[in-house]
Structure 1
Amino acid sequence: MGDIVPRELISLADDEGNSVTVNVLGCDPRWGAGLDAEIVVRTPFVSGSIDLVLSASKLASWADALNRLDAGEDVAWMEWDRGPSIWIQLCGERDCPEVVVEDESGSMVTVRVPVVPPDDWIADHQQRSHRVMAHWVPMLSAS
């Protein structure tokens, strides 16, 4: 079972059909230090996806964001990079966690998704982050 490639970096979903996932698709053929990935938003109302490239530093900043979430802070991930950004508010407008996906530099669309994840979702995502980094980062060049 150790041969399973970790692809889901983020998987926030609830019983209402709302979800935000970030999936690693593989090494970017154009940039040896990057991973092709996608953000996928699914709700009963709106669904969509956007491509992005993840670097080792973006993966490390996600691990740091998870530690801040675990400490009770809201976080923004990739907000200063070109491309999409993800904000996670622990208590959003509907008194539950909320994920905001913004594509300011591309489509100029922002989607706000309330989700009620399981109680252990931060610990689960810390494990996901560790598995993704352990598998993928050694494949990236230092360029």
Structure 2
Amino acid sequence: MAGSVPRDLIVLADDEGNSVTVTVQGRHPRWAVGLEAEIVVDTPFVAGRIPLVLSVSKLKGWGDALHRLDAGEDAAWMEWDRGPSIWVRLSGEHDCPEVVVEDESRSMVTVHVPLLPPDGWIADHRRRLHEVTAHWVPMLSVE
């Protein structure tokens, strides 16, 4: 939709009702170089959400993860950061792709979400990353 604010950085979902999303909510109220966001896990069995702060380097890291996934490799995003981490495993425990969301630093909970993303999902996520970066990064400043 033309003119809409890009908020959905990650939307991994399948026809079984399993999804993992990362949504940008806006500029972080206390950190001028960060974006307020959240990770949402939703399945027929478990649902949860956790706040997340995105920086330019984290957005770049997601782009690097997409590059690895496109090369047929599993990818981790934010794995060395304080806060939640996301892994995308192309061949998970149930012989299908899975997304693993880990919140070791706060809740100490890890959730494995098996899902089969649609064809073209990596290209779609590159487009999402480009749109989020183009819209939000120019608003971030060192104050």
Question: How many percent of aligned residue pairs carry the same amino acid?
Answer: 73
Shift of 1:142: 3.3
Q: TM-score, normalised by structure 1?
A: 0.97
The AA in structure 2 aligned to 1:75 is A
Name the counterpart of 2:62. 62
Structure 2 unaligned residues grouped into runs of 5+: none
Within-5 A mapping of 1:1-143: 1-142=1-142
The C-alpha deviation readout for 1:67-107, integer Å capped at 9, x for no partner, is 11000110110011110000000111111110000000000
Aligned pairs, number? 143
The AA in structure 1 aligned to 2:87 is W
List structure 1 segments (4+ residues) > 2 angstroms apart after TM superposition: none
The AA in structure 2 aligned to 1:54 is L
The AA in structure 1 aligned to 2:123 is A
Shift of 1:132: 0.5
The AA in structure 2 aligned to 1:49 is R
User: Whole-Å Cα distance in 2 between the matches of residues 72 and 28 of structure 1?
Assistant: 34
Structure 1 unaligned residues grouped into runs of 5+: none
- SS of the equivalent of 1:25 reads strand
User: Whole-Å Cα distance in 2 between the matches of residues 83 and 98 of structure 1?
Assistant: 20
- SS of the equivalent of 1:123 reads helix
RMSD: 0.9
User: Whole-Å Cα distance in 2 between the matches of residues 3 and 10 of structure 1?
Assistant: 20
